[in-house]
Chains A and B, each alone.
Chain A
């Protein structure tokens, strides 16, 4: 039988599995906005936000929910070169594998897409699209101009580079959805709901208001960072539970353990 802390630790393993999706006011709003945008006659939709704000899980969820209603495809890992990307796209469009020793003729592909207009509406969800180069993005834009293929482009927003300012996005993106870090309220709900979903009632109650504030301060409301921090907190709790039970209190999580986890992850320094 696994200990309560081991179970709690596993709750915070970072994943984009839709079973781990937590309905929060902000995430529900983003989902509705994206679903609504997909319904519009747009060519490209930009979904952007800092790493760990829930872009991938949102794309995954929308792909799962709409898979029986729409022709929707989720490209979770970016293709390293255009050949690989067009190979995947060919399979989506024709539902066949590319014959061996053949290559895609791009203009023929665009023409093929144009012929599909009015007959099919294909939605491609491109995750980690910052990995595609400008040339690739330009080709994706040309395909989207056919209006038979719609792209949802998910990008990281970084400090150094505001991607929506990039020329090819500024002129061609028709809808922009930004995902932000969680507020303290969102993060509290997120942690509670995640633990309650796995029936870890006592552990959910053992995280107090001041602990939530501390966790929020360390993670700045980033869901991935929050997962990492809570995983480490429960990992430390698990260690004490097994080896030095006198150092742990089941009624609450000592601030010392939260700070130790923050030290381990480098949120704070000596």
Chain B
């Protein structure tokens, strides 16, 4: 067998390279969030700072009046008013952007809704494919069991069907296994657990109790306790 060290190192490099777009995505995300927070901050605080300016100018005015420099004072007041009007004008596009936010949100929602509409059937199709595939593969094992009566096959089918939630089938295949060898813990456990799932709890308890009596299986005892406790 060859030495895997160089291959492991190559994989490390590949893995880092593969994750690079992910890290870049995170960085871009963080950058965008920062920008958004900044723009929100900018949207709220310029008004306050403008108000501060007005207050400051108001204070200046009183100072200017006391110094009797009315012309300069008027000019600066007009300029100040102009500045305020202009600054309000600057704020207008921001208000428009704020007004536009609900529209943007609606559109975003639509996009998300559309995405969901596209995604949903895909997901269902995928699940169908996998289910059919596995069950089809099990059919081969079933056919083989009827020829060979190999308990590895029947136990595999019992376990697999139980995992898939097909309890009638898991019960059937566990029973087939029990017929060949009646001392396999796994098989009896699946058999009784399938019965519990099929609503035959009392029958399952009776079967498991007689199995424990016969074999003294510790695993079966634990399962019996769990079944009785509805766990």
Contact = CB atoms under 8 A, between A and B. Distances in A.
Interface of A: 23, 184-185, 188-189, 192-193, 196-197, 199, 201, 204-205, 209, 235-236, 238-240, 242-243, 256, 259-260, 263-264, 268-270
B1 A235 contact: yes
B7 to A, nearest CB: 5
B14 interface: yes
16 contacts: A188-B129, A188-B133, A192-B134, A192-B137, A193-B140, A196-B137, A199-B150, A239-B1, A239-B2, A239-B4, A240-B4, A243-B1, A263-B10, A268-B14, A269-B14, A270-B13
Q: When A and B form their complex, which 10 residue pairs have the shortest distance between CB atoms, in order from nearest?
A: A192-B137, A201-B156, A188-B133, A270-B13, A260-B11, A239-B1, A270-B14, A185-B129, A189-B133, A209-B130
Interface of B: 1-2, 4, 7-8, 10-11, 13-15, 17, 129-130, 132-134, 136-137, 140-141, 150, 152-153, 156, 160
A185 B133 contact: yes
A132 B137 CA distance: 39
Contact of B4 (A193, A205, A236, A268): A236
Nearest to B2: A239
Q: Is the interface of B mostly helix, strand, loop or mixed?
A: helix
Contacts of A239: 1-2, 4
Given A193-B140, A201-B152, A270-B10, A185 B132 contact: yes
Given A185-B129, A268-B14, A196 B141 contact: yes
Contact of A260 (B7, B133, B140, B152): B7
B154 to A, nearest CB: 11
Nearest to A238: B1
A38 to B, nearest CB: 26
Contacts of B17: 270
B7 A264 contact: yes
B14 A263 contact: yes
